[in-house]
Amino acid sequence: MDQLVDDMDNSSDDHDHENTVVGSLVSKDVSLRQWLDNANRVVDALECLHIFMQVVKIVNSAHSQGVVLHNNRPSCFVMSSFNHVSFIESASCSDSGSDSYQDVTSSNISHNKVSEIDWVESNGKQTEEKEDRFPMKKILQMETNWYTSPEEAAAYGSSSCASDVYRLGILLFELYYPCSSPEEKNSNMSVVKHRMLPPQFHLKWPKEAFFSMRLLHPDPASRPKIDEVLQSEFLNGLREKLDEREAAIELEEKIVEQEMLLDFLVTLQQRKQEAADYLQKDFSILSSDLQQVTKLQASVRRKGDSNSMNISKPDDFASSGSRKRIRRTPKENQESSRLTKNFKKLESAYFLTRSRAVNSGWMNPFMEGLSKYMSSSKLKVKADLKLGDLLNSSSLVCSLSFDRDGEFFATAGVNKKIKVFEYESILNENRDICFPIVEIPTRSKISSICWNRYIKSQCASSNFEGVVQVWDVTQGQVAAEMREHQRRAWSVDFSADPKLLASGSDDGSVKLWNINQGASIGTIKTKANVCCVQFPCESSNFLAFGSADHRVYYHDLRNLSMPLYTLVGHKRTVSYVKFIDSKTIVSSSTDNTLKLWDLSNTASQVIDRPIQSFSGHVNVKNFVGLSVSGGYIATGSETNEVFIYHKGFPMPAMSYKFNTTDPISGNEVEDNEQFISSVCWRTQSSTLVAANSMGNIKVLEMV
């Protein structure tokens, strides 16, 4: 779509850095394969026997259920920090053996739901980063071959319980015989499966070597059964020491668990104490403000009494026999409901305003914002226009603009026409289709239009070809044309000086123009597309513009070399900027937010903390419009809605949804493919004009 906002940079993923309650709560499980291949591993005979015993018990548990484990390989086991071994789900399994044993599944044997594939991917990355001497991916591929029994390798063979026992013999060798290099490991493991154990293994670990040879017997029938392995002298000879080791580990686990619980409780106590301190601080502030407002209210009432204001007193009610419980009006009930619904956000706004203010400076801004927020609750349609052109399927309105007196407004967009409507006549006509008083055809699609703030008959436009034009609206003719932009121009704006004009373009430049001269009088060059330009209402020396690099730049035009301020905080393209006053800017971005910036009382050239962030509308790809008036901020949404915010509060004050009229039934229906494309407040009023991507225009009033 022509109205899409293309993000020029791929913004980084945000990382939420939350405080960890107890660091030791994080699981430190490691694959048995990683543990075996640790280059710094020193063989502890009792530790290895303890690990082997646990694997044997896991295999025995499976066989007792009639299940062939198939994958009792190191990569399919994980070890806890206390050397507790668990079987994890494997991605592969083979056919059932001749003994009619079932395949192992996660439901009947696995306790740790860790996919072997996930483990390989995650640990493979870690291995590459650390340049491990044992390349994990290659080792895992070779492991399958190492742990394949002779009968499984044979074309006619199949897996059985004896195959699981064979793999125990391979594991026993790996536990007691670490290798210093991948080459040595592969060489040894390739011959072990043929029962050719290294001489050093026989010399250092004769019992282990003998037991491995039994488990690795080439004839499946000659291997011991799993229950025989479990009851063997090899495992039971050190049973007492193994039991002592298990008891010591359990005791250590309990100590660690108690320490974790203690750490958790201490941390929780600290956080609750911090929360209580903050609450006490907030309560003190609130109590002070209550006293201040109560005194101010009493003072105002005394002034009213002294001026003999006609205020009813309780005695008046008593004398008239009307001493009854006061009932709220429907409007008061509605206001109370809105207050309750948004209470948390209003509370945040109050404390935010309070933190920025000095002494009693918070009161008037917050009171004004609260009053305006509560004074209107919805948008009412005053007039409805449909600009759909039967000869042109593209009716998207890119820009709306009122003249200086609010008497006329202009529309422009992809239909290559500038149309001017008289506001009052639109309100008085009861027709769906209203005709403009002026219609100016153009050669290109219009991206932006604005009226001269002083010359009533003059407006300027920018178009998709990069041309900036000044129009004499009464004559319907071009008064000036500027052609220096190399790519599409997105935005144009008149300054307080009626001769000074600015434009921003996809070519990464902001051009300053004197409408009486053909050439630009100044250029600000940037590295990214410029999507919007805006002058303050009462100055021609300063300019703000938004960029596809996610930033807003504020320039003193008497020094074009560098920005006076750079506003950083948006995560995607900045599509609009508007001045609420000379030192307060609101910006709109395709990151679904509006942000409010205070340029006063700042010593830094980079402002990275907006004073307010507004959210509630949806805006991720389109230009949806932005307009400000009297502290109210209007914006569109890709949900085909108009949203109104007040500068003091982060949540919408009200919204209105455009619906599409069904051509057959004439009823309004929702159309989620449409979006609001432009909004514009009428000067010094509670009325605005909004248009959507279908070319429908509505005059809306806050009520």
Closest to 631 (Cα-Cα) out of 348, 347, 365: 365
Residues of the chain with pLDDT under 70: 1-28, 89-136, 155-157, 307-335, 357-360, 387-393, 429-433, 661-669
Report pLDDT for 665: 64
* Res 80: pLDDT: 86
The answer to whether the CB of 624 falls within 8 A of the CB of 617 is: yes
φ and ψ at residue 282, rounded to 5 degrees: -60, -40
Residue with the two structure tokens 């011991």: 224
**628-641 as b/e: b if 16+ CB within 10 A:** bbebbbbbbbbbbb
The Cα 543–Cα 511 span in angstroms is 11
Which class for 249: exposed (0-12), middle (13-18), buried (19 or more C-beta within 10 A)? middle
Helix or strand holding residue 544 (H, E)? strand 542-547
Which residues on adjacent β-strands are paired with residue 574? Answer: 589
What does the alpha-carbon distance between residue 23 and residue 552 come to, in Å, rounded to a whole number? Answer: 40
Can you spell out the DSSP letters for 58-84? HHHHHHHTTEE----SGGGEEE-TT--
Do the Cβ atoms of 659 and 670 come closer than 8 Å? yes
Side chain identity, residue 443: R
CA–CA separation, 5 vs 588, rounded Å?
Answer: 12
The tokens 């026989």 sit on which residue? 202
- Residue 189 contacts by C-beta under 8 Å, 6 or more apart in sequence? 142, 146, 170, 174
Contact 546, 530 (CB under 8 A): yes
Q: Which residues, at least 6 apart from 452, have a Cβ–Cβ distance to it below 8 Å?
A: 404, 458, 459, 460, 494, 498
C-alpha 624, offset from chain centre = 20
What's the confidence (pLDDT) of residue 156? Answer: 59
* ∠ Cα 671 578 603 (to 5°): 135
Residue 4 is classified by DSSP as B
Instruction: Summarize pLDDT for 445-484 with one digit per residue, the tens.
Output: 999 999 999 999 999 999 999 999 999 999 999 999 999 9
Q: What is the pLDDT of residues 147-182, one digit of tens each?
A: 999 998 886 567 899 999 999 999 999 999 998 888
Q: How far apart are the first and last CA of the chain?
A: 34
Q: How many Å apart are CA 278 and CA 282, to the nearest integer?
A: 6
∠ CA 240-112-176, nearest 5°, is 45
Tell me the three state secondary structure of residue 602: coil
Edge-to-edge strand order for the sheet containing 438-441? 397-402, 408-413, 417-422, 438-441
So what's the pLDDT on residue 43? 93
Positive or negative: CA dihedral 208, 209, 210, 215? positive
- Cβ atoms of 498 and 506 within 8 Å: the answer is no
Q: Which backbone phi and psi does 271 adopt, to 5 degrees?
A: -65, -40
Residue 662 confidence (pLDDT): 61
Q: Is this model's pTM higher than 0.85 or not?
A: no
For residue 326, the model assigns a pLDDT of: 44
Can you tell me which residue has the tokens 């959507």? 692
Q: Cβ distance 267 to 22 under 8 Å?
A: yes
pLDDT for 103 equals 39
CA-to-CA distance for 565 and 419, rounded, in angstroms?
A: 37
Predicted local distance difference test score (pLDDT) of residue 180: 84
What's the Cα-to-Cα distance from 365 to each of 335, 349, 579, 615, 653, rounded to whole Å?
20, 11, 17, 21, 16
Rg (CA), the chain: 38
Which tokens hold the place of 243?
């039991």
Which phi and psi (to 5°) does residue 65 adopt?
Answer: -95, 5
Residue 466, phi-psi category: left (phi > 0), alpha (psi -120 to 50), beta (remainder): left
Q: What is the pLDDT of residue 213?
A: 94
